[in-house]
Structure 1
Amino acid sequence: MTIKRMDNVLIVVDDLEAVKAFFLDLGLRLEGETTVEGPSVGRLIGLEDVRATLAMMRTPDGQGIELDKFHTPSAIRFGPVDVPVNTLGFRRVMFSVDDIDALVAHMRAQGAELIGEMQYENSHRLAYLRGPEGIIVALAEELG
């Protein structure tokens, strides 16, 4: 048995609309949004009295980011929002892009913070952005 593919990554958010707008600005599309609740959902994720709104975002090639806003039980914030990249745990998601300069400029105009950027040898340009709720997104443009 082997893994076939990765279907999606989950990000639990407080402000679902702001985070959806951030990923739409990056170029993802909203595939769908729904509310889930009830005992079967609770059994699956190990919580009681679950009610959550889920928004599935997709990259142009079909990769998914699931955004979840928990109504009950309330989401728990662990630590500060703007933690550095070397903080333990899931820290960022990276996207391949065609025009890093244009996308960074666009995202900054939408309120994203540029953490930093660099060129890796002659192969890639990289940039790290921080969006709503401290979400870190890396962008990579292949050179040549």
Structure 2
Amino acid sequence: MAQNKLLRMDNVSIVVKSLDDTIPFFEEIGLKLEMRATIEGEWAGRVTGIVSQCVEIAMMVTPDGHSKIELSQFLSPPTVADHRTAPVNSLGYLRVMFTVEDIDELVSRLIKQHGAKLVGEVVNYENMYKLCYIRGTEGLLIGLAEELGKK
């Protein structure tokens, strides 16, 4: 039996209320806006199962160009559920984690400039990583990691 060969993961999608509010938050982390577009039409409905949708998307890419987040703002139909305040032990997709150079400086900047909130605290995991979760713009849960000893 032939097996399908996985080539790559293209992106993770996050539905937001406002692209204008969320794009600057992800830019602050270090992602770049690759493109912004409106997606609608019969073909899009065939993919998602939402027949008449109009979605504005923003594709954000990491500095190495390998990882992307697709931010989606539904213009129609309206969103039907909100999972942003779910605790970290909830079922389903939970968070995206980024490796950063200076976690303390970034967390401070995200709190001051974007109103982010630290979920617990920044912890040292076995002198290998400093780790934390934050709730960013629109309450999105984001993980941050700083590799220790690699400066």
Same fold, TM-score > 0.5, yes or no: yes
Unpaired segments ≥5 residues, structure 2 = none
Deviation, structure 1 residue 78: 3.7
Counterpart check, 1:143 vs 2:148: yes
2:69 maps to 1:65 = yes
TM-score (norm 2): 0.90
1:114 to 2:118 alignment: yes
Greater Cα offset, 118-127 or 13-22: 13-22
Aligned counterpart in structure 2 of residue 128 of structure 1, from 129, 133, 140: 133
2:105 aligns with one of 89, 102, 106: 102
Unpaired runs of 5+ residues, structure 1, are none
Amino acid at match of 2:37: T
Q: In structure 2, the residue corresponding to 1:47 is in which secondary structure? A: coil
C-alpha deviation, 1:132, in angstroms: 2.0
Secondary structure at 1:106's aligned position in 2? helix
Q: What percentage of residue pairs aligned between the two structures are identical?
A: 48
Q: Return the TM-score normalized by structure 1.
A: 0.94
Deviation for aligned residue 1:88: 1.2
Instruction: Tell me the residue number matched to 2:55.
Output: 52
RMSD of aligned residue pairs (Cα, Å): 1.2
- Could you tell me how far 1:133 is from its partner in structure 2? 2.2
SS in 2 for 1:56: strand
CA distance in 2, matches of 1:138, 1:23: 12
Question: CA–CA distance in 2 between the matches of 1:61 and 1:143?
Answer: 20
Aligned equivalents of 1:103 and 1:78: distance in 2? Answer: 27
1:11 paired with 2:22, answer: no
Counterpart of 1:6, as a letter, is: M
Aligned length: 143
CA distance in 1, matches of 2:112, 2:93: 26
* Paired position in structure 2 for 1:31: 34
- 1:53-110 CA-to-partner distances (Å, cap 9, x unmatched) read 010001101110000111111111245x422111111110000111111111111112
Question: Which has the higher mean CA deviation after the structures are superposed, 3-12 or 81-90?
Answer: 81-90
> Is 1:74 aligned with 2:78?
yes
Q: Is the 8 A contact 1:83 1:134 kept in 2?
A: no
**Structure with the higher strand share, 1 or 2:** 1
